[in-house]
Amino acid sequence: MKHAVLMRSVQASVPQAAEILPAAAASEVPVPAGPKPVPSPRPSLRRHLAAKCRRWAALHHAEIRSYVIGAISLALFLLAWHLLTTYRVSFHVRFTNVPTPAEVFRSFARATHSGTLLHHVVLSCRRIALGFVIAAVVAVPLGLVMGRFRFARDIIFPVSEVLRPIPAIAWVPMSIMLWPSNEESIVFITFVGSFFPILLNTLHGMANVDPVLVRASQCLGAREFSIFREVYFPASLPSIFTGLTVGMGVAWVSLIAAEMISGQFGIGYFTWEAYSLVQYSDIALGMICIGVLGLGSSAIIRGIGRVVMPWKRNP
Amino acid sequence: MSKQSATASNNVANAKGRIEVSHFGLNYDSIDGPVEAVTDAGIVVEPGEFVSIIGPSGCGKSTLLNAVAGFLKPTHGTVLVDDEPIDGPSADRGMVFQQYSLFPWKTARENVEFGLKMKGMERNRRESAARTLLGLAGLLAFENQYPDRLSGGMKQRVGIVRALATGPKVLLLDEPFGALDAQTRIIMQQILTNMWQRLKISVLFVTHDIDEAIFLSDRVYCMTARPGTIKAEITIPLPRPRQQSMMMSSEFLALRRGLMSLISEESLKAMGGEVNADALQGLAIDTHGHTLSEII
């Protein structure tokens, strides 16, 4: 309705508007539908809703199908786990000591009740949040500057290329020496793990900015800083978010390794300690927690990406 | 009248928009030394005139246009707009690109607003200005759509009004309708003509389409194969407003024939000597009933 009003005012102020657009205006501006007859009460409303649901189901057929298949596949996985552990299958791979799903669930209930599990989870999440956020805050601007200014790139790139292949776990001894507290060294290792994927993907995004868009912005009067803010940065965002997603995955890998080696508390420490204390169901519980946390954190990044890049349609 | 129209007419009053390119030459550096892309080219676009450059692909017509836009510095000669030498790109010279080059992360309206935002115009004013322009292009209903939801013709209409939003003296178009289908292209040509006549700005239009050049232009420059230079200048005396039916008139066809012969000669040269008249007639080989692979 708002559009229609605006259209009318524009056409009134510019008499030749119709002449500029012989056919296009007529064909491409959707005609607002007239007022629909008020639907008669209940029965037809229900029928209307049912029809809507059917249409929604038809439109989202493929998605519904993947969700159903996904649920079945998870259920089958649980079933296989249950059967292998209940019958203590030992065929080279030994399931004799592996806890059953029910045992894991019981230990989950116990651990949540006492609050220990939550404590470990919160600590790990805090380490991830710190290490990952610092990595993003350093790597994204650095990548943008390196992508824009060749000189910066020439200085930083060789160093980063030498450091990049070193896995975050290999940083553990060095990190313990570098940082005064254990907590800081674990956060540092998480930082190192997520830093390079974010940096490289940001660089990649900058390298692939369409030069025609830069020229278009210059023709519209954009200067250096505006080009950076209005063109280079948004154009690199999809790559930056790829980097953040990959970086988050590596951050978890690094965190768990660091916690297992040098940690007190944390979900990685919990899992390793369960092994030392022969509490086998806690091992599986720790692993599942890590899996769910990893899944959740990448979902958060995807969600942020969707908010920040509304022009990207969902894949 | 809206504010936007008032500023636009002010701009027309103080701006002239005369383009003068003289003895223009541009070399690219390569490992074998400098390569001449364009040599000794001279063109003039009078204020308010619609001028096209046509030529075979690779003849340097886009190079010439990019020099007027300010993206390339001439190796020889001068490029003047209103007697001032060009120093880099500016909003005084609007440009429309073949690949649309809309910002994918901005909606249609935000794309149109961009130049005004760069000028520091406040949000409310630039929004209403952008709406007016989108309304002229018949795209008001699509103001909040991102470019990937728009058709090619719609994208290019956004591209044109985006270039016009800042009130440039000169509009440069680099094969803007090359990627559009024939029907859309004809509509776009009419839209462009109408906007040009209304705004009275100078237009420099690069194309390889002879019909398009004749239909739109007051004058057409024809360029040679690389190194490109101006081979001929043809005035198009067809009266305005021009209708599509005019493309069947004997006058139009005579102009078309003339330009066609100028261009096809250069196109053959541009393809590198291997293509001769025989190749165009079909393979001039007598195969005596055998297939080609049997005799080769």
Which residue's entry shows tokens 């002239």?
Answer: B16
Which residue's entry shows tokens 């892309």?
Answer: B37
pLDDT of residue A21: 45
A24 part of contact set with chain B, CB < 8 Å = yes
pLDDT of residue A77: 95
pLDDT of residue B16: 80
**pLDDT top residue among A80 and A39:** A80
Sorted by where each begins, the domain ranges of chain B are 3-92+168-295
pLDDT of residue B178: 87
| Interchain pair B135, A7: CB under 8 A | yes
pLDDT of residue B276: 59
> Taking the C-alpha atoms of A120, A121, A122 and A124 in order, what is their torsion angle to the nearest 10 degrees?
90
- Strand positions, DSSP E, B175-293: 202-207, 219-223, 230-235
**Tell me: the pLDDT tens digits for B151-170?**
999 999 999 999 999 999 99
pLDDT band of B287, cuts 50, 70, 90: low
Shortest CA gap A303–chain B (Å): 17
Per CATH, domain A103-308 is 3.40.630.30: no
Segment B138-150 shows an average pLDDT of: 92
Of B1, B93, B187, the CB nearest to A23: B187
> What chain B residue is nearest to A32 in terms of C-alpha separation?
B141
**Tell me: the pLDDT tens digits for A276-285?**
888 889 999 9
pLDDT band of A9, cuts 50, 70, 90: very low
pLDDT at A17 over 50: no
Shortest CA gap B151–chain A (Å): 10
B72 part of contact set with chain A, CB < 8 Å = no
Of B88, B138, B148, the CB nearest to A21: B138
pLDDT at B111 over 60: yes
pLDDT at A26 over 70: no
| Interchain pair B166, A221: CB under 8 A | yes
Segment B76-92 shows an average pLDDT of: 90
pLDDT of residue B275: 57
Of B101, B154, B194, the CB nearest to A19: B194
pLDDT of residue A138: 97
pLDDT band of B289, cuts 50, 70, 90: low
pLDDT of residue B292: 64
> What chain A residue is nearest to B167 in terms of C-alpha separation?
A220
Q: What percent of chain B has pLDDT over 90?
A: 49
pLDDT at A22 over 50: no
B60 part of contact set with chain A, CB < 8 Å = no
Shortest CA gap B37–chain A (Å): 20
pLDDT band of A75, cuts 50, 70, 90: very high
B69 part of contact set with chain A, CB < 8 Å = yes
Sorted by where each begins, the domain ranges of chain A are 52-98, 103-308
Of A22, A28, A212, the CB nearest to B190: A22
Can you spell out the DSSP letters for chain A?
A: -HHHHHHHHHHHH-TTHHHH-SSHHHHHSPPPPPPPPPPPSHHHHHHHHHHHHHHHHHHTHHHHHHHHHHHHHHHHHHHHHHHHHHTT-EESEE-TTSPPHHHHHHHHHHHHHHTHHHHHHHHHHHHHHHHHHHHHHHHHHHHHHHHH-HHHHHHHHHHHHHHTTS-GGGGHHHHHHHSSSHHHHHHHHHHHHHHHHHHHHHHHHHHTS-HHHHHHHHHTT--HHHHIIIIIHHHHHHHHHHHHHHHHHHHHHHHHHHHHHH-SSSHHHHHHHHHHTT-HHHHHHHHHHHHHHHHHHHHHHHHHHHHH-TTSPP-
pLDDT of residue A237: 95
pLDDT at B269 over 80: no
pLDDT band of A286, cuts 50, 70, 90: very high
| Interchain pair B138, A24: CB under 8 A | yes
B148 part of contact set with chain A, CB < 8 Å = yes
CA B127 – CA B114 distance, rounded (Å): 10
Q: Which of B90, B100, B133, B140 to mutate to test the interface with A (most CBs of A within 10 A)?
A: B140
**Interface predicted TM-score of the whole assembly (ipTM), two decimals:** 0.83
pLDDT of residue B274: 57
CA A305 – CA B12 distance, rounded (Å): 44
pLDDT of residue B33: 83
In one-letter notation, the amino acid at residue A118 is L
Is A6:B131 a contact under the CB 8 Å cutoff?
Answer: yes
CATH number of this structure's domain B3-92+168-295: 3.40.50.300
Establish, for the pair of chains A and B, how many residue pairs have beta carbons separated by less than 8 Å: 120
pLDDT of residue B279: 57
pLDDT of residue A302: 93
Shortest CA gap A8–chain B (Å): 9
- Contact residues on chain B for A224, CB-CB shorter than 8 A: none
**Tell me: the pLDDT tens digits for A210-263?**
999 999 999 999 998 999 999 999 999 999 999 999 999 999 999 999 999 877
Q: Which of B87, B136, B148, B172 to mutate to test the interface with A (most CBs of A within 10 A)?
A: B136
pLDDT band of B240, cuts 50, 70, 90: confident
Segment B180-195 shows an average pLDDT of: 89
B34 part of contact set with chain A, CB < 8 Å = no
Shortest CA gap A245–chain B (Å): 20
pLDDT at A3 over 70: no
| Interchain pair B71, A16: CB under 8 A | no
Q: Which of B66, B103, B106, B187 to mutate to test the interface with A (most CBs of A within 10 A)?
A: B103
**Tell me: the pLDDT tens digits for B198-209?**
888 999 999 989
pLDDT of residue A23: 43
**Tell me: the pLDDT tens digits for A110-151?**
888 888 889 999 999 999 999 999 999 999 999 999 999 999
Of A20, A29, A234, the CB nearest to B105: A234
pLDDT of residue A14: 41
Shortest CA gap A250–chain B (Å): 29
